[in-house]
Amino acid sequence: LFPGAFNCCTKVSDEIPKRILRRVERFEIQKADGLCHLEAVILHMKGKKFCVNPWNRKVKKMMKKMKYKIHKSRSNVRKQRRTRITKTERTEA
């Protein structure tokens, strides 16, 4: 329809080097519905995107680690905020 209007992966790589997986900043999951007719994981690095097979074992492991890191860091921030609030309340009282 409109070239460049939709960003879909047209091909996927089955193999991806570990050095690339280590530099991934975030990822997106492309479903095979609507305008994109191919299931893929889009790996975002600084200024680059890679389309990889979502069933690749290394990619699944990397996605699981990244989700765990995000979840863990958010929970730590909440705990720190609570401790700061309680310490200031004690000094004021």
The predicted pLDDT at position 32 comes to 85
Among residues 28, 32, 40, the alpha carbon closest in space to that of 66 is found at 28
The predicted pLDDT at position 75 comes to 54
Structural domains for the chain: 18-92 (2.40.50.40)
The predicted pLDDT at position 40 comes to 92
Show pLDDT as tens, one digit a residue, over the chain (93 residues).
Answer: 344 445 788 899 998 888 889 999 999 999 888 778 899 999 999 989 999 999 999 999 999 988 877 666 555 554 544 455 555 555 555
